[in-house]
Amino acid sequence: MAQIVFDQVTKRYGDVRAVDDLSLAVGDGELLVLLGPSGCGKTTALRMVAGLEVVDEGTVAIGDRVVNDVEPRDRDVAMVFQSYALYPHLTVAKNLEFPLRQRGVPKEERERRAVDVARTLGLEPFLGRKPGQLSGGQRQRVALGRAIVRSPKAFLMDEPLSNLDAALRVQTRADIVALQQRLGTTTIYVTHDQVEAMTMGHRIAVMDHGRLQQVAAPQELYDRPGNSFVAAFLGSPGMNLIGGRVAVEAEGGTAIRTAAGDVLLQGAQASVASHHEQPVVLGVRPEHLRISPGGALEGTVLLVELLGAETQVICELADHSRVVVRQQADQARPRLGEPVRIAVEPAAVHLFTEDGSRLEEKTAA
């Protein structure tokens, strides 16, 4: 096991910076999730650790060794791809043994370790089968087993669950978390799925356009996003973002004036009074909005999504922006096209500048 450190790492493809000045340390034994939309640089960063992409600037270190010029086979990392990358003509047992065979491990030792890994992953009954005779979930477990059998310093996982159906994804991500906890192997896990990131990672590193936006524990990211991109990207759905201006009321209160109504601020948020008349973005998560006759915002119901235990009500505001209100399934559901008032929990408001930075940090600086 070993920590993995990116130190001012940049990767270019022509004029495009796929990864731009990335500095990030993954702790020994940590499961760190690289999260972001397609094209944000997360897979490129992972491939630089594996040695499948050349580092243009900066250094990548595994343990106490800089590996920029180390061949992939000598980095002692194991990569799991979304495509499984199994050998279709080999049995499960032979697929599990293959990495050990490449390293000259004696046959008896290879077989023993393959059986041990198969037992750990519930694959023992399938050792004699070939990948074409397995389900998607079973094939993904074989791919995981092939990584585990080597006992590498680090696991690198590139969206390994994207080919599985919803139920299998839930089960397999739980299996991966339990396995990583038991083995204690340093793991970088790439995904664009916010639910995977929130449920799996010790920490999440959010990337966009090649740049690291924020890295923190899942709950911290959710409760206090560092900028409006992280706020909107993290969560399912993400945070509602509403444009407005800071307004100091005649009686001394502070509000955010939006096209749909004025949202009064309380507590520390009210300190933004010094930004009177400046444009801001108000952020509030769907669970911190409710449909109420006395609500501050005025909107029209566009869509009602029934999700079993909860309902998502999508509303259009006067400026044609949309917000999502999350409510319990037993609450009264509004009708499509119905005008509604939407109440905002003042303590749950986040404020960002037009360029996306958290306003509180700038105020306190």
Q: How far apart are CA 20 and CA 9, in angstroms?
A: 7
Residue-range domains of the chain with CATH: 4-232 (3.40.50.300), 239-364 (2.40.50.140)
Q: Report the alpha-carbon distance of residue 285 to residue 240 in Å, rounded.
A: 6
| Alpha-carbon gap, residue 49 to 60, rounded angstroms | 7
Instruction: Evaluate whether 91 touches 128 at the Cβ level (below 8 Å).
Output: yes
- pLDDT, tens digit, 9 for 90 and up, residues 73-98: 999 999 988 777 889 999 999 999 99
**pLDDT, tens only, 298-326:** 999 999 999 988 999 999 998 899 999 99
Global pTM reads 0.89
Question: What are the helix and strand counts (H, E) for the chain?
Answer: 9, 20
Give residues with Cβ within 8 angstroms of 303, minimum separation 6: 313, 314, 336
Q: Any residues with CB less than 8 A from the CB of 219 and at least 6 apart, and which? A: none
Q: Where are the alpha helices (DSSP H) in 224-326?
A: 228-233
Q: Given this model, what pLDDT does residue 362 score?
A: 40
Give the residue from 294, 293, 299, 295 showing the smallest Cα distance to 313.
Answer: 299
Q: Which amino acid is at 100?
A: L
Question: How far lies 312's CA from each of 99, 167, 290, in Å?
Answer: 48, 22, 11
Walk along the chain (365 residues) and give the pLDDT tens digit of each residue. Answer: 689 999 999 999 999 999 999 999 999 999 999 999 999 999 999 999 999 999 999 999 999 999 999 999 999 999 988 777 889 999 999 999 998 988 889 999 999 999 999 988 889 999 999 999 998 888 888 988 998 898 899 999 999 888 888 888 888 888 889 889 989 999 999 999 999 999 999 999 999 999 999 999 999 999 999 999 999 999 889 999 999 999 987 576 889 999 999 998 887 677 787 778 899 999 999 999 999 999 999 999 999 999 988 999 999 998 899 999 999 988 889 999 999 999 999 889 999 999 999 986 443 33
Element (H, E) at 158: strand 154-158
Which residues are within 8 A (CB) of 235 and not within 5 positions of it... i.e. 6 or more apart? 194, 222, 285, 286
What pLDDT shows up at residue 166? 84
Q: Exposed, middle or buried by CB within 10 Å (0-12, 13-18, 19+), for 267?
A: exposed
Asked if 22 and 53 touch (Cβ cutoff 8 Å), the reply is: no
Asked if 153 and 140 count as a contact pair (C-beta separation under 8 A), the reply is no
